[in-house]
Chains A and B, each alone.
Chain A
Amino acid sequence: MCLGVPAKVLEASDGAAVVELGGVRREISVMLIDDVSVGEWVIVHAGFAIEKLSEEEAEQTLALFREIAESDEIH
């Protein structure tokens, strides 16, 4: 019920933005989030950005994955 994909903002104007995922572009509504800027990442669902993606938090999750993968090699 919540198919949402991470996409990068290429253009932003009042209420709308153009985002890109794997070379695919679409215009979406940003009425549900505050002040989005070019280069930021958002989650897109049904033609709307429903939230921004925190690259910092994403890095932390990925670091945790790396840790888990490494510690598994020890077992």
Chain B
Amino acid sequence: MKYIDDFRDPATAKALVARIRRDAGDHPVRLMEVCGTHTVAIARAGIRPLLSGAVTMLSGPGCPVCVTPDGYIDAAIALGRERGTLLASFGDMLRVPGKSSSLEKERGTALEVRVVYSPLDAVTLAAATPDREVVFLGVGFETTAPAIGGAIRTAAQRGVRNFSVLSSVRTIPEAMGVLAADPEVRIEGFLCPAHVSVVIGTDAYRPVAQRYGIPCVVAGFEPLDILLGISMLLRQKKEGVARVENEYSRVATATGNRKAQDLIRDVFVPCDTGWRGIGVIPGSGLRIADPYASFDAEKKFGNPVVFAPEGSACRCGDVLKGKILPVACPLFGKACVPEEPYGPCMVSSEGSCAAYYKYGP
């Protein structure tokens, strides 16, 4: 398939691995892949063992499912159970544990949830079922924010009044700043997300690169993109510089997608928000702007999402910050396994723990 297979060529992969190893120092360089999609791509391509000794890949908090607080799941369950609303959700959210249950477990008996591929499908669903309230679980980062915003705008234009969104949108650069500033995490380079960058523009990482002196490379999700991105980070490190470079130049640009950014600014407003396992990061969330309040499920139903920091044996927070590898969590593989996950890192298809468990040899 065009623009996919070309970026999976084994001979080039081999050459890139050799280049990375030649540039490696005497201790492994600590690089963080911020984005959960990168975590899964790296795991599925089996890249980690290929680079062992040269590079240590830390998985960051760019997994919107992983960082969604259990209070959000509880609020969603309450909406579905108590008010009989029809929930529409991306498949990723179904198995995430709330305080005591998950959407999957409640499904069929207590509430109805439909898996959709696009937030627009939820609007279509609402239009087709005018006598039921439909709530879309709007979870994601800047890649998905325009899609969620687009769905809200579409609902507004078409007068689909029984549609609303329970928003859980977060933004990446602020979280990167928190991690860069944390002396325990010790990141030497950021592999920046491909599609978040397509929306916000690669320039968005310049403050992090400049303030903390950490090289940033935006890389695509195919194996060759990832390997080239890692190679570019190592070369910056060797040169002693900290720039923002763009490996994903076929789609991402310095200024990003202005139209998408305008839509985000129209439908959403930045706010402080809690990240599961990390805590509240100022300005790292997007809530639905007041002109669209009738599409904001929290306001419409008076069901605020409560963020409560966890206190348990689960070390998802440290995993999300890249402080520890999943295997260092006392629950990993024992009390916490994909079939019975304790924390979201294990349940999310792209959580670090799930990726380690499923793909790690």
- Interface residues in chain A, defined as those with a beta carbon under 8 Å from any beta carbon in chain B: 1-6, 8, 21-22, 28-29, 31-34, 41, 43, 45-48, 50-55, 57-58, 60-62, 64-66, 68-69, 71-73, 75
Given contacts A58-B250, A61-B250, A71-B15, contact A46 B117 (CB under 8 A): yes
Give the chain A neighbours of B199 by CB distance below 8 A: 50-51
Q: How far is A51 from B194 in the complex, measured between Cα atoms in Å?
A: 12
Interface size on B, residues (CB 8 A): 55
**Can you name the residue of chain B whose Cβ is closest to the Cβ of A32?**
B260
Residues A43 and B15 in contact, CB atoms below 8 Å apart:
no
Q: Which of B86-134 contact A (CB under 8 A)?
A: 90, 117-121
Q: Tell me if A45 and B195 are in contact (CB < 8 A).
A: yes
Binary per-residue interface labels of chain B (139-161) against chain A in the complex, 1 for a CB within 8 Å, 0 otherwise: 01101101100100110000000
Task: List chain B residues, Cβ under 8 A from A75.
Answer: 18, 22
A7 to chain B, nearest CB (A): 9
Return chain A residues, CB-CB under 8 Å to B350: 1
The residue that B143 contacts in the complex, of A34, A50, A69, with Cβ under 8 A, is: A50
> Is B73 in contact with chain A by the CB < 8 A criterion?
no
Q: Would A72 and B15 be within 8 Å (CB), given that A1-B196, A2-B37, A58-B3 are in contact?
A: yes
Inter-chain contact A72/B118, CB cutoff 8 Å: no
Across the interface, which residues of B come within 8 angstroms of A45, CB to CB? 143-144, 147, 195
Contact status B15-A50, CB under 8 Å: no
State the 5 A-B residue pairs at the shortest beta-carbon distance, nearest first.
Answer: A47-B118, A2-B195, A72-B15, A58-B250, A6-B3
Given contacts A32-B263, A46-B144, A58-B250, contact A5 B19 (CB under 8 A): no
